[in-house]
Structure 1
């Protein structure tokens, strides 16, 4: 999870790719962002289109030189869609400068930026996107710099993807190597939420994970502890691939659970563990059963009224999650065990993914404030391999010329793409093109 670099496609390149359609790559000419009150995203909001991701211009140029105008145009159109700006570290002065620069660029577009605040100590369980502030004090200083730079500007702020989904105790790492606690994590997220929420024109959301991860009672408890009721709500599906129907069901259940357990007159008051989830009575991998959990909430809400809003990341969910079932058949012939392991790691650079619904604040769903492109399309999730625990492969059942033959090299190899994947945040040309080609709805 990495930010975009401050580069823009040149007018000449845009003209080469789109010809008369040059405006696709230029800032839009629609209505400027309407004033919002009460920390709510206005339905008329235009979201900010950041500079193209580092690597995208080079790939578009390469496609043009190869005479592939169709794919060059698809990639250019992908880069013209609003997406989030990731704040991933640096000194307080450096991150403040990044925020101010983005706000100026957004103002020139008449648009509202979406920021991802991503510098929590012990980030990502020290895995592919490892990093973050050194300690709580350093993190608070960094957050204060972000809040000060935002000032009274209009902005959406998504606070720390994975921070509540992967609390330090979930990482299963020795404290000697990973000296962070759940209490510290909750306090850090709560501090960031409070500091960023002070701006009357911001909409702040906390990590609500996704429907194939934390059960509704678990994430409800963590959200409440981190102060979700002092924010606009929570975000779902960042850097993941769950479908819009799943996200809307899950989002409504989390909001329902929050309402039930915070209503002093409700029988579930103070007990998130009483709430139904995607795991019961529903079965998480059988969407046809999810109506059972919806019915449970309908029957048990009583006078509680759901009011906690949410946003979802649709940047890569156009085709939904890859079940990896293809790899169990010819010509791959992988075992059921290998396919199950691939399924568990299907969040990491899966094949056959496509861009999803374009960002909008007009969702038609009462508590769903916006559909956003949060994860930068085309950027790698990391070096998805067996060594990282997200790939499994029997090379005796299927291999190709040029693939590694020794165990050490195979452990660093991604057989789904037939290569060693780029590092987290680096441009992944093959994945970028596939996302654009398989977009749903299709790119123009």
Structure 2
């Protein structure tokens, strides 16, 4: 998915908008407790299987150190992407595997899922355009053929918990890219579709995280209040009393959670890493009556100096990030997670030899392993 930051950067100029007064409040999820505490993030065996070729490559090369790191990566919990109607079957596979893991280990599983199939998806770029078009009955199909069966599957698995990320990048486009004609036309569909998803997934075992892009996009002072208002608009559309747990950030992007070295291109931003972005956005969310809980994707983190600007989003030189944990040193954070499991290409761009978006990029995967500290 393309991360658009030009308009976000321009919007940073000017004073910080005052936080709006509290007029409406959505419900928190079933309790205020962190849904990740005391649970194991489901490790997707489908992704682990793809890494076998990476393990074999290191073994063949006699690189025991990196082969061992692959084995460690294969055990790490990652989110499962449900990105088209046919992909709904992957929910069934994840449920079956998570139940097996839960029975074998005795550890309560929380299954991470991404819900990603809006009509007119990726309106500002099209690199991850989906199967549905609003011009061709897309919204109705999205509701009936995608959301309804999605909800039926997770609600039926009451023995498992689910953390679901809703439509990465979508509302970020509505905050900053309304000058793009396709995004402006898609806005009502995005809002109605996500609201329907929220309303349809109101179950005690489901914890919803509305995607909030990343600090380099919506973290600028001028964008923070606009983003909170957009999120509140959509949750209101879902109906009074609807529940979301919070927000996901940095999905499929490369920002560090805690930057050890601050990159030059972050100079004018208070959201120079994802921890600071969460802390910057939280007061505006709370002012709109929204819960300020976050999960942050650290599946891939750019190496220091690998990018000259936040807008570099495609197959960036990177490492696997810190492993999922609820120890975050930020009270707004529920957990660091791996939403975008490393290995799939971002598109025909970035590093040499990159295949089409979504295809396995073996050379890139080996780089992620080599650069990873193993923690």
Deviation string 1:336-388 (CA, Å, 9 cap, x unpaired) is xxxxxxx354221112x11111112343432211110011112111111xxxx
Please name the residue that 1:247 is paired with.
274
Distance, in Å, in 1 between the alignment partners of 2:110 and 2:38 is 11
Unaligned runs of 5+ in 2: 2-28, 103-108, 237-241, 259-272
Indicate conservation of the 8 Å contact 1:318/1:438, yes or no: no
Please name the residue that 1:100 is paired with.
92
Residue 361 to residue 323, structure 1, CA distance change in 2 (3 Å): same
Q: Is 362-371 or 422-431 further displaced after alignment?
A: 362-371
Please name the residue that 1:346 is paired with.
312
User: 1:133: how far off?
Assistant: 2.8
Unaligned runs of 5+ in 1: 2-35, 263-305, 325-342, 385-413
Please name the residue that 1:136 is paired with.
139
User: 1:169: how far off?
Assistant: 8.2
Distance, in Å, in 2 between the alignment partners of 1:370 and 1:86 is 18
Q: What are the within-5 Å matches in structure 2 for residues 22-61 of structure 1?
A: 37-38=30-31, 40-53=34-47, 55-61=50-56
Matched, 1:200 2:204: yes
Indicate conservation of the 8 Å contact 1:236/1:312, yes or no: yes
User: 1:55: how far off?
Assistant: 4.2
Distance, in Å, in 2 between the alignment partners of 1:424 and 1:162 is 16
Tell me which of the two structures has the higher relative contact order, counting C-alpha pairs closer than 8 angstroms and 6 or more residues apart.
Answer: 2
Counterpart secondary structure, 1:244: coil
Counterpart secondary structure, 2:359: coil
User: 1:422: how far off?
Assistant: 1.2
Residue 174 to residue 166, structure 1, CA distance change in 2 (3 Å): closer
Distance, in Å, in 2 between the alignment partners of 1:174 and 1:158 is 26
User: 1:83: how far off?
Assistant: 0.5
TM-score (norm 2): 0.75
User: 1:318: how far off?
Assistant: 6.7
User: 1:65: how far off?
Assistant: 2.5
Residue 320 to residue 137, structure 1, CA distance change in 2 (3 Å): farther
Deviation string 1:130-182 (CA, Å, 9 cap, x unpaired) is 1143411111121111110001341100001011112398276555xx89421
Q: What are the within-5 Å matches in structure 2 for residues 36-435 of structure 1?
A: 37-38=30-31, 40-53=34-47, 55-91=50-86, 95=88, 97-110=89-102, 111-125=109-123, 127-134=126-133, 135-141=138-144, 142-151=146-155, 152=158, 153-167=160-174, 170=177, 180-196=185-201, 198-214=202-218, 215-227=223-235, 230-245=243-258, 246-262=273-289, 307-317=291-301, 319=303, 322-324=306-308, 343=309, 345-351=311-317, 353-384=318-349, 414=350, 417=351, 419-435=352-368
Counterpart secondary structure, 2:177: helix
Residue 223 to residue 89, structure 1, CA distance change in 2 (3 Å): same
Residue 123 to residue 307, structure 1, CA distance change in 2 (3 Å): closer
Indicate conservation of the 8 Å contact 1:168/1:181, yes or no: no
Alignment coverage as a number of residue pairs: 308
Q: Which has the larger radius of gyration?
A: 1
Q: What's the Cα RMSD here?
A: 2.6
